[in-house]
Amino acid sequence: MNSVITASSYVLVHTPDMVLHNGTTITTEKIVNPESEYLKELPKHIRSYEDVIAYAPNQTYIGNMTPEELAAMPQPWYDTKVEAKREGKFGEILPQDEFYMLMQICDVFDLLVLEKGFAAATKEKFVKNPAVIPSMVEKIKEGVDLAEIEALVNDEHAEGLYMDGKLVGAVKRAHDVDTNLTAHVMHENLVSKASSVLALIHLIKNSGIDASEIDYVIDCSEEACGDMNQRGGGNFAKAAAEIAGLTGASGEDVRGFCAAPTHAMITAAALVKAGVYKHVAVTAGGCTAKLGMNSKDHVKKGLPALEDCLGGFSVLVSENDGVNPEINLDICGRHTVGTGSSPQAVINSLVAAPLDKVGMKIVDIDKFSPEMQNPDITKPAGAGDVPLANYKMIGALAVTRHEIERADLAAFPEKHGLVGWAPTQGHIPSGVPYIGFCRQDILDGKIKNAMIVGKGSLFLGRMTNLFDGVSFVIQGNSGASAASAMDEAEVKNMIAKAMKQFALSLMEGEEEQ
């Protein structure tokens, strides 16, 4: 039986100071052109937390607005405010100070220190979060003097943590000479781990199951943890599960650039369908490198620096309960080694080819969720409306396959597509932002199915020039009731009873003779 999606969570972390100190566009500019006008102007374009939570795409990401409601708003959205809510149906938008506290909780090697006044004040706020579990609160440490933090940053190559431009903490290097354990890398990895933990604790809250019931965790972020002897050895999944209280879980890391979440979802669905695990959580934290990635263009055009949030998500994949939407593993698209890199070849391999195998047409899929980047971010940077471009290609393929008329092509994106709302965090926008809405839309009878499409730029790793991509379909439950979804023990028990009854009937027959 197909596995099902039982819950999901989506979280954002507002990190304005990390934009200025950790985004690679900014850190690179500080090296090559430290006196640039861009660097001088950027601080003026940083949004407040209040503005961030009143931003419609962000409210959509955490579930307070639907994609349809967002699409009904005129673009651009950055200068229009909606009702500002920290918490949403799927998760929350965490402020930077509380995220530093969460990073400290996730640090099990005493690498992160916070200034004592900042730590005390932030703890008061942090412990009031209803998603935070007691074991996390117990891990909060007292702060240190500011002079100690300044010495670490100035003399020991530590990575500073800033709040409103003021130094409030630091992440120390984990080794004197290992380039994989520098303060920069440890900071990057703690950020990814902490935002994944945030998503996991919201997943537990949303699912209603006990954290100990989750058997396995798959992390699909874009970071890699290891040392000089195993650069990307892992394991973010198990590290995050430990902090989130998933005491019964093991785990692994899956990597594939932006396509990794879709790879991970297929892996999770297969593990559950095979009976290896009952509950598998797919999770990913955010990426500091991509903060402010397109901010040069945003500043140049007088816009806010919109890439000021880390993204995170978690999805719970479980045994079929007869209710929740299924992951149909019979319909999995894949970009193979021999596919080619042309847009037409990519879309054909990910969309048309898997549907052909089961006798379906492109128009038989109600909604497609490919690269769901927020157009507010990408259009000013010259990348256009990325989701819309995908829908035009899928629609054009439907035309060439004679599934729709050319005159119907213009209406295809609205009928089968979605407006983009996810932050440009690489792996975060790649298909998975719609899973939470999709589950609810199918349960509510609004749609019958959807295709999640993940793409990845493998050439960025300089190991291959190949592109990558995978896809899968979420559909309404096939109707298997809980009563009919018997486990192995129940089947054996029924067989034993039947055999016993058969033996008794034979004995009765012999007595009559």
Query: Does residue 345 share a domain with residue 269?
Result: yes
Q: What is the DSSP string of 397-428?
A: HHHHTTSS-GGGGGGHHHHH-----B-S-TTT
Mean pLDDT, rounded, of the chain:
94
Among residues 202, 204, 12, 207, the alpha carbon closest in space to that of 98 is found at 12
Query: Does residue 488 share a domain with residue 470?
Result: no
Cα radius of gyration (the chain): 25
- Percentage above 70 pLDDT, the chain: 93
Query: Does residue 130 share a domain with residue 54?
Result: yes
472-476: average pLDDT? 98
Span 81-119, pLDDT tens digits: 999 999 999 999 999 999 999 999 999 999 999 999 999
CATH of the domain at 301: 3.40.47.10
Query: Does residue 446 share a domain with residue 372?
Result: yes
Span 189-240, pLDDT tens digits: 999 999 999 999 999 999 999 999 999 999 999 999 999 999 999 999 999 9
Query: Does residue 434 share a domain with residue 399?
Result: yes
Query: Does residue 513 share a domain with residue 409?
Result: no
Query: Does residue 504 share a domain with residue 393?
Result: no
Query: Does residue 437 share a domain with residue 505?
Result: no
Give the structural domain span for 501.
484-513
Q: What pLDDT does 482 receive?
A: 40
Q: What pLDDT does 481 receive?
A: 38
State the DSSP code for 227: B
Query: Does residue 228 share a domain with residue 369?
Result: yes
Among residues 291, 301, 287, the alpha carbon closest in space to that of 41 is found at 301
Q: Can you list the positions of beta strands (E) in 307-373?
A: 309-318, 326-334, 367-369
Q: Please count the CA atoms within 13 angstroms of the CA of 389 that sit on its side-chain side.
A: 14
Q: H helices then E strands: how many in the chain?
A: 21, 13
Structure tokens at 319: 């045994």
Instruction: Give the total number of structural domains in the chain.
Output: 2
Q: Residue 184's pLDDT band (boundaries 50, 70, 90)?
A: very high
Task: Tell me how far the alpha carbon of residue 155 is from its chain's centroid.
Answer: 36
Residues paired with 470 in a beta bridge: 334, 454
Query: Does residue 316 share a domain with residue 281?
Result: yes
SS3 463: coil
Question: How many angstroms separate the CA atoms of 117 and 98, rounded?
Answer: 14
Among residues 164, 134, 243, 264, the alpha carbon closest in space to that of 196 is found at 243
Q: Residue 485's pLDDT band (boundaries 50, 70, 90)?
A: very low
Sorted by sequence, the CB contacts under 8 Å of residue 40 that are 6+ apart come out as none
Interhelix angle 236-244/96-106, nearest 10 degrees? 100
Q: Is the pLDDT of residue 503 over 70?
A: no
Q: Is the pLDDT of residue 511 over 60?
A: no
SS3 11: strand
Q: What is the DSSP string of 132-164?
A: --HHHHTT----B-HHHHHHHHHHS-PEEEEET
Q: Is the pLDDT of residue 491 over 60?
A: no
Q: What pLDDT does 490 receive?
A: 56
Q: Residue 502's pLDDT band (boundaries 50, 70, 90)?
A: low
- Percentage above 90 pLDDT, the chain: 92
Q: What pLDDT does 509 receive?
A: 54
Query: Does residue 456 share a domain with residue 400?
Result: yes
Q: Is the pLDDT of residue 486 over 70?
A: no
Q: Residue 480's pLDDT band (boundaries 50, 70, 90)?
A: very low
State the DSSP code for 276: S
Sorted by sequence, the CB contacts under 8 Å of residue 39 that are 6+ apart come out as 26, 29, 30, 33
The residue count of the chain comes to: 513
Span 8-54, pLDDT tens digits: 999 999 999 999 999 999 999 999 999 999 999 999 999 999 999 99
121-142: average pLDDT? 96
Query: Does residue 171 share a domain with residue 39?
Result: yes
Sorted by sequence, the CB contacts under 8 Å of residue 256 that are 6+ apart come out as 220, 263, 454, 456, 458, 468
